[in-house]
Amino acid sequence: MGEPAKRNPDETPQKDPLPVSAEVDISFVIPVYNEAPIIDDLYSRLSKVVAGLGKTCELLFIDDGSDDGSYQQLQALREKDSSIRIIRFTRNFGQQAAVLAGFRHCRGAIIVQLDSDLQNPPEEIPKLLDAMTDDIELVVTVPRKRKDTWTRVAGSRVLQCFAQKMLGPSCKLNLSSFRALRPSVVDKIDQCKDKSQFMAVLMSWMGVPTAEVEVEHSAREKGVTKYGLSQLIRLTWDIVTGYSNFPLRLVTYMGLLGASTGFGLMAFLIFQRVVRGILVDGMVLLSAAFAFLAGIQLLSMGLLGEYLGRVHLRVQDRPDYIVDKVIE
């Protein structure tokens, strides 16, 4: 299962108020937002799986500002199980922030991330751990058959399609939130300043040695998905703007098209008037001049945006590359 973690979360940019002492083989990172009806089922299924692993484990629940009693339920579980740790956010910061907090505060040599709504069956965890061989840093999962509503699946497909386009063909994108990783991946996340981004996309972007396993996916039996249409659109837009300057370049291209069409039309009309003596309709000439000027304006905006985009990517401070190994 590899070395116990040496990483100290207190060295990460955001200080960890939790004690870091015990050596832990596996940390389970579980974001929770208003999942009160399902927490007890989750705990009973997960603890059975954990007991069967025969490893030192910790269950790290991140309560992302729940107001339905989830936190109180987690506290009650903590009373009877000392392997449970809880991080409570002051308010709802979103699943990505909750997962990141969990990654930073956990102590395991292997980290397993799973949703708290039992859509990722805990019984599949051993498969992920088996795939985490010494040369692997990240194990991603592919659901055998996704059991979500068609609107949720369609939303994910659109997001996947945009994100894959932005990342390019050399990145194999996996958006599942059921995965296992080593602390070295968290260190790499911490090298990027844009970590509130979609963790799954950031990890796919890194291209660390990855194994893929097929797992079951269950329908949500209690509670509702927290990802409605507006959240999915926001996520898609975050990925499009976060991973490329494509929207800015689109403005530049539109400007170039408008300016060249206007210019061509104007040149043609002037040629008709001067060389062939054909009288040109004033409105047509005006439209050509307008298209030309509007194009120039868009082009200038796009060019300014390109520079701004460079600053934006710089501010994110993502490393230019991630080294897998150096063999001397």
Residue 32 binding ligand UDP, by CB under 6 A: yes
Question: Could you say which of 12, 29, 71, 115 contacts ligand UDP (CB under 6 A)?
Answer: 115
What is the C-alpha to C-alpha distance for residues 112 and 59, in angstroms, rounded to an integer?
10
Q: How far is the CB of 240 from Mg ion (least distance, A)?
A: 23
CB 195 within 8 A of CB 100: yes
Q: Which of 225, 260, 261, 316 binds ligand UDP (CB under 6 A)?
A: 225
Residues with Cβ within 8 Å of residue 209, at least 6 apart in sequence: 135, 136, 137, 138, 324
In the set 55, 78, 147, 152, which binds ligand UDP (CB under 6 A)?
152
Find the binder of ligand UDP among 25, 35, 58, 190 (CB under 6 A). 35
Secondary structure of residue 143 in the 3-state scheme: strand
Contact 74, 61 (CB under 8 A): yes
Chain residues 51-70 in contact with ligand UDP, contact rule CB under 6 A: 64
Specify the residue, 31 or 122, whose C-beta has the smaller distance to ligand UDP.
31
102 binds ligand UDP (CB under 6 A): no
For 104, what's the count of Cα atoms within 13 Å in the CB-facing half-sphere? 24
The one segment of 222-230, 261-269, 278-286, 320-328 that binds ligand UDP by CB under 6 A: 222-230
Cα 286 to its chain centre, rounded Å, is 48
Binding test (CB under 6 A) with ligand UDP, winner from 119, 174, 197, 236 = 119
Residues counted in the chain: 328
Q: Please select the residue that binds ligand UDP; options are 98, 185, 200, 239, rule is CB under 6 A.
A: 98
Per-residue tokens: 33: 């937002």
Of the ranges 87-95, 129-137, 277-285, 303-311, which one interacts with ligand UDP (CB under 6 A)?
Answer: 87-95
C-alpha of 10 from chain center = 24
**How far apart (Å, rounded) are the C-alpha atoms in residues 268 and 271?**
5
d(CA 95, CA 64): 7
109-168 residues in contact with Mg ion (CB under 5 A) are 117, 119
DSSP 103: H
- Residue 31 interacts with which of ligand UDP, Mg ion, none, CB < 5 to 8 Å by class: ligand UDP
Closest approach, Cβ 280 to ligand UDP, in A, equals: 59
Span interacting with ligand UDP, options 1-9, 116-124, 207-215, 307-315, rule CB under 6 A? 116-124
Min dist CB 120 to ligand UDP, Å, is 9
Radius of gyration of the chain from Cα atoms? 26
Contact yes or no for 129/110 (Cβ under 8 A): yes
Q: Are 201 and 243 in contact (CB under 8 A)?
A: yes
Residues that bind ligand UDP (CB under 6 A): 31-33, 35, 64, 92, 94-95, 98, 115-117, 119, 152, 225-227
Residues that bind Mg ion (CB under 5 A): 117, 119
